[in-house]
A and B are shown apart, each in its own frame.
Chain A
């Protein structure tokens, strides 16, 4: 009955989405749209939450009469993976996606009062249309509650790569981010329909964009770290199509985050902001399509089904095509925004937006290029890190350089920008660049390290000469995020520049060296876990007086039969020691050792970027509440 209750809740929610859409289209003829839309939106949120809880319950009980559970779970699996296994598959993760979409829709309906009623009506209609399509996809093409008769005696188990605490955190955060952007999309569509594009829209959109962006940043950072330690390849970004699929909405959201501020503060960049709001969520949907249709091959392969791909493509044409057509037809009639000069805060933000959009284009083209080439010539090619690194690297450096001066410029026009304040970070950059010649590395790594050092100083400059206690939280947020960019850049550049790798087949007792470390293979022992067996290597690493022990494993899971390598990673103050145990060759064991100075900065930087966004969000919400209170007091 649990599965049937969940399914019934989903059907009911879909019916309510249809009702909400109908009310939005019928408009004032049926009375106040909010009176219908708010209860229906909230009920959809609650019903999908209920359905999602039912699915989790089925997974915890390992109810094998449900097809999805039988195909992805196993009664011997530890509790946490039975729990998180609920979304470690196509149908469950789509249910998570739809749940977030419905809950975001409920939040939008509850919170949004400041916009003109017609815009709210159009926005809630757009959100209902989005929800309806994805409910349809779930119920028609990916029913998570389908029964299996007869029920098997045992489930097939969860892909061992997913049997990791990362699964409990990474997909939900990422989906909250992806789908949170749907609100910005609906607001943009609503505003296009009523032609009400202005600062009020930007202020309504900004908290949603900030919140979604923070979660997206966290989700991508967590996913990067997960891939880093779980895959055992020693890399932190592989330009895999699915990684790119998460990066593209992030780039669009980052650009949107900056342009929405121009619209809120100065009324400028109207068409541009609307386009980015449409593109950001469109990129989320395109990513979902790429992952689940199987048109690109990737490490994140879901059970691939072309009919599902056609269904999502249909939704994409409807939503993305519809929104972009509306944009092309309508945005020309939107009143032009406030003008500004080239050298101004707006000018710098436009440059930032253009660079981010070029980055987005570069990633988009690189990800889809194999398909275009095969369509045109029939050749199978693969676009890899050499393309992405060499093209995105310089653009990222330009973005970093822009951050030196952008936040210091005045709004509207800055006839005499205070260039003296930029002198300090520029000097730091030049000195750091000179210092990189002490070691041998690529030009890109040299520039990356130099710019990271300069940016670390430059990012703090907006605070210089201010009363720190009276500085708005949003400004603190900007400073913290930009400092995070400097940190991540430093981590990425030093990973390229300083990483040392040793690959060897070692006998027990043998000593290998990697960077400044001597690593001794003390021995190898068999191990057993709840649903796996493993061989575990015992390594003792020494440097100077420090000695640490690492125990990398090579695991063999029984259900389904798969081998994974569990890297042992030790973080010290100035970097990470990363060790992987491979196969046995006679009396030797394959060992891969990496010494990665300052690699931790990559993810700390990512976390800092997200923290800055969270601070800004808090500041904005706080201010908004205070302003409303003040308005109410005067009224």
Chain B
């Protein structure tokens, strides 16, 4: 009898495997990585203006009582081109947006904004990507919603595409 049980052991192991696999297929793992900074204050940084026409800003300016959308972008970044019209739409819906230009130059930024539209109230220059690293952002574009007290409430990795608008607006309204 014990031999019989041993012989069925591989089948039992396999059944366990199938059970776990079925469960996992029915409920696929979440691929969103919760930013470690969500719920924490914006790390300290102070950025010089990227353009002569707009002010720069620092972490302290984000705790001014009004929520802000912080958007990391660059003129050399292809997904940012796709994101630009969505940012314009967000601005039209009353979202205040501050930009951080990553590893970029003033003429390129001016050209990019001229061609693709400009939804930014302020743009800070981050020529070495130091603010990007401080914010725990891995690439461009990425966006953060910061509440009026300077606490990060939401982190969006990659371009905000039209299908992301409802989610971003919902997060924005939670804060505002």
Contacts and interface: CB of A to CB of B under 8 A. Distances in A.
Contacts of B28: 294-295, 306
Interface string A114-125: 000000000000
B17 A328 contact: no
A141 interface: no
Main secondary structure, interface of B, reads helix
Nearest to B129: A583
A372 B17 CA distance: 9
Contact of B21 (A278, A295, A332): A295
A623 B25 CA distance: 49
A313 B10 contact: no
A375 interface: yes
A297 B10 contact: no
Contacts of B17: 286, 368
A275 B11 CA distance: 11
B20 A306 contact: no
A289 interface: yes
B22 interface: yes
B12 to A, nearest CB: 9
Contact of A293 (B7, B23, B25): B25
A375 B128 contact: no
A77 B78 CA distance: 20
B7 A295 contact: no
B11 A371 contact: no
Interface in A347-379: 368, 371-372, 374-375
A480 interface: no
B8 interface: yes
Interface in B1-60: 3-4, 7-8, 10-11, 14-15, 17-18, 20-25, 28-29, 31
Contact of B24 (A271, A324, A371): A371
A210 B46 CA distance: 65
B11 A328 contact: yes
Nearest to A317: B18
A255 B18 CA distance: 24
B11 A321 contact: yes
A306 B25 contact: yes
B21 A321 contact: no
B14 A320 contact: yes
A317 B15 CA distance: 9
B117 to A, nearest CB: 21
A524 interface: no
Interface in A281-314: 282, 286, 289, 293-295, 297, 306, 309-310, 313
B34 to A, nearest CB: 11
B25 A310 contact: yes
A324 B10 contact: yes
A320 B29 CA distance: 25
A110 B29 CA distance: 45
Nearest to B20: A371
Contacts of A275: 10
A303 to B, nearest CB: 13
A313 B18 contact: yes
B81 to A, nearest CB: 12
Contacts of B8: 328
Interface string A42-80: 000000000000000000000000000000000000000
Contact of B14 (A293, A324, A332, A561): A324
A327 B20 contact: no
Contact of A324 (B11, B25, B31, B78): B11
A331 interface: yes
Interface in A580-599: 585-586
A492 interface: no
Contact of B7 (A271, A320, A372, A561): A271
B11 A325 contact: yes
B20 A368 contact: yes
Contacts of B24: 293, 295, 371, 375
Contacts of A286: 17
Contacts of A614: none
A372 to B, nearest CB: 6
B23 A375 contact: yes
A18 interface: no
A333 to B, nearest CB: 11
A279 interface: yes
Contact of A331 (B7, B22, B29, B128): B7
Contacts of A309: 21, 25
Interface string A245-278: 0000000000000000000000000010001001
Contacts of A146: none
Nearest to A325: B11
Interface in B101-123: none
A572 B23 CA distance: 50
A294 B78 CA distance: 28
Contacts of A332: 3-4, 7
A139 interface: no
A586 B128 CA distance: 7
A479 to B, nearest CB: 33
A316 interface: yes
A18 B17 CA distance: 29
Given A321-B11, A585-B128, A295 B25 contact: yes
B25 A327 contact: no
Nearest to A286: B17
Contacts of B78: 561
B7 A328 contact: yes
Nearest to B4: A332
A557 to B, nearest CB: 12
B128 A313 contact: no
A297 B33 CA distance: 13
Given A293-B25, A371-B24, A585-B128, A316 B18 contact: yes
A155 to B, nearest CB: 16
A321 B7 contact: no
A327 B21 contact: no
B91 to A, nearest CB: 26
Contacts of A586: 128
Given A327-B10, A332-B4, A585-B128, A313 B21 contact: yes
A299 B165 CA distance: 30
Nearest to A316: B18
A294 B25 CA distance: 8
A375 B19 CA distance: 10
Contacts of B21: 289, 293, 295, 309, 313, 371
B145 to A, nearest CB: 25
A293 B25 CA distance: 8
A173 B40 CA distance: 50
19 contacts: A278-B10, A286-B17, A289-B21, A293-B21, A293-B25, A294-B28, A313-B18, A313-B25, A320-B14, A321-B14, A324-B14, A327-B11, A328-B10, A332-B3, A368-B17, A371-B21, A372-B20, A561-B78, A586-B128
Interface of B: 3-4, 7-8, 10-11, 14-15, 17-18, 20-25, 28-29, 31, 78, 128
The 4 lowest CB-CB distance pairs between A and B, nearest first, are: A295-B24, A324-B11, A328-B8, A328-B7
